[in-house]
Structure 1
Amino acid sequence: MMLSGSPIGVFDSGIGGLTVFRSIVAQLPGYDYIYLGDNGRAPYGNRSFNTIHQYTWECVQWMFKQGCPLVILACNTASAKALRTIQQQDLPQSIYADRRVLGVIRPTAEVIGSYTKSKNIGVLGTKGTVQSCSYLLEIEHFFPELAVYQQACPLWVPLIENGEYDKPGADYYVQLYLDKLMQQSVDIDTILLACTHYPLLQDKIKAHLPANINVVAQGDIVAASLAGYLHRHPEIKQNISENGSRIFYTTIDDTPEFDHHASQFFADEVKSSYVDVKEGC
């Protein structure tokens, strides 16, 4: 059954996008929202371009069927490997041509240059995000003077998804990938967490770095960008309902497990419902 109202949809391959959703709700609390985590098929980071596009488009269409006029891909991998195809091919050829889908990479690239003094930036992300080179291309567009170094961290998302991010064992893997990144340039003074899961490791990351290095998460950046987008596009804004509701869905049938971990990411109690996105409404 389609929900009443017209909420903003927030999508992620799992629970990491809740760090972005938390910031969006903090900055724009009046709107209705639904969150969908595709936990049943997570993680996306090591999957092929075609698979990520297929899964993401299925989830986006499901959110459209719930009445969402706007969907935010709060997932760097989906933003890197599926967003452009959805915007340029899928939407125009579908019954949802009037809907909008936005990602997290471009808003971050638009402002990341303001965080660095040395003009050397490190990007930590999933294998899929790093291999796409999306950040290299987008940052080059806005800040061609910056040197950007990337490092994939394939073991971080499994650590976080399994609730091990705050355990002593996580320190080894945090240090492992930070060392690989910093070996690329001693001049890096800003590190972008280009995966919405990674803010859960932010304290450990900072503890393994010199104090002068900025560690930048995306939540507040994406939230501010969304506020600006709605201001510039009143034709979208007027179609979004404003009752302050938040509804959570997951594609894994163990909803208590999802709720437990999701509540830590969202910094508030989460009660979710299971959904099979292939079945639609």
Structure 2
Amino acid sequence: MKNNKSIGVFDSGYGGLTVFKSIAALLPDYNYIYLGDNARSPYGDHTFETVYEYTLECVEWLFAQGCPLVILACNTASAKALRTIQQKVLPLKYPNHRVLGVIRPTAEVIGTYTSSHTIGVMGTRGTVNSDSYPIEIHKFYPELRVIQQSCPMWVPLIENNEHEGEGADYFVQEYVNELLGKAPGLDAILLACTHYPLLIPKIQSYLPADCKLIAQGDIVAESLVAYLNHHPEMETMLTKKGEKRFFTSGDHKVFDKNASIFFDKAVISSRINLKK
């Protein structure tokens, strides 16, 4: 199996499956390996050092399975670990491998979604505290006003399958109202966590009708298509048998049950042991 050159997709848990679903729909012919670090999820409140350590371990595991290209389908990992991996690890240890994130491709297009030049960003504490989105967005759209809102309860609600219950409404309304209170002219909100698309119906119910909600799946998938078109040396290396394999560091039976909610298809995974 290691001779197969798959695209690796990594997330701290289930959320990356919303991105993987979009990628697989747009690029169905490639082989994929998805890894969810569910045993150590969520990453949102971990330190930069811990997120970097966990992310690097998972990336190296995917490299060992024959993935020359890995997508960090996790905003927290992209914010806290991607740059160090790209700049310090790959050139020294894996010069022929590549790791891509979800923040830059989103920042490249985010300005096309707003008329008021004001964007809301809703994410985990880790993503918000990193300021990765304001920094990246202002590289492409320096005129935009970026207002952030951390939503620490949303991932736990989603990962415990409580996101559709009435109890979730309290926390959805609370965070949405906090964000709108900071920026009355807001007309577009980025869901800067790949878990959050499961909350879209509830979030929309508390937003003005003209406020757009932006999920990252299609944006990241389209960016990957462009990347492969511009890097034929990587594209030709990848195996195209349409195979998808799923792995988790947690209980694989629990993963399979919950993953189907995010991926919209039945998932059968295998459990792996990570160091810590």
The interval holding the TM-score normalised by the smaller chain is over 0.9
Q: How does 1:14-163 map to 2 (within 5 A)?
A: 14-94=13-93, 96-163=94-161
1:36 counterpart letter in structure 2: L
Name the SS for the 1:87 alignment partner: helix
- Write out per-residue CA displacement over residues 147-191 of structure 1, whole angstroms, 9 at most, x where no aligned residue: 000000000000000000111110000001001111111000000
Cα distance in 1 for partners of 2:166, 2:22 equals 28
Correspondence for 2:270: 273
From 175, 178, 188, the counterpart of 1:177:
175
Q: Residue 262 in 1 paired to residue 230 in 2?
A: no
* CA deviation after TM superposition for structure 1 residue 277, in Å: 3.3
1:175 counterpart letter in structure 2: Q
From 192, 195, 199, the counterpart of 1:194:
192
- TM-score for both structures, normalised by structure 2: 0.99
What do you get for the CA RMSD once the two structures are aligned?
0.9
Name the SS for the 2:92 alignment partner: coil
5+ residue gaps in structure 2? Answer: none
2:25 counterpart letter in structure 1: A
- Write out per-residue CA displacement over residues 217-246 of structure 1, whole angstroms, 9 at most, x where no aligned residue: 000000000000000000111111000000
1:85 counterpart letter in structure 2: T
Cα distance in 2 for partners of 1:50, 1:278 equals 16
Name the SS for the 1:93 alignment partner: helix
* CA deviation after TM superposition for structure 1 residue 208, in Å: 1.1
Correspondence for 1:218: 216
> Structure 1 runs of 4+ off > 2 angstroms?
none
- TM-score for both structures, normalised by structure 1: 0.97
Correspondence for 1:204: 202
Name the SS for the 2:182 alignment partner: coil
1:259 counterpart letter in structure 2: D
Name the SS for the 2:142 alignment partner: coil
Cα distance in 1 for partners of 2:3, 2:156 equals 35
Name the SS for the 2:256 alignment partner: helix
* CA deviation after TM superposition for structure 1 residue 3, in Å: 3.3
Cα distance in 1 for partners of 2:165, 2:256 equals 20
2:187 counterpart letter in structure 1: D
5+ residue gaps in structure 1? Answer: none
| Count of matched residue pairs | 276
Q: What percent of counterpart residues are identical?
A: 60
Name the SS for the 1:200 alignment partner: helix
Cα distance in 1 for partners of 2:23, 2:183 equals 33
Cα distance in 2 for partners of 1:207, 1:97 equals 47
* CA deviation after TM superposition for structure 1 residue 40, in Å: 0.5
2:263 counterpart letter in structure 1: F
Name the SS for the 1:91 alignment partner: helix
Name the SS for the 2:262 alignment partner: helix
Correspondence for 2:7: 8
* CA deviation after TM superposition for structure 1 residue 256, in Å: 1.2
* CA deviation after TM superposition for structure 1 residue 213, in Å: 0.3
* CA deviation after TM superposition for structure 1 residue 90, in Å: 1.1
Cα distance in 2 for partners of 1:141, 1:273 equals 40
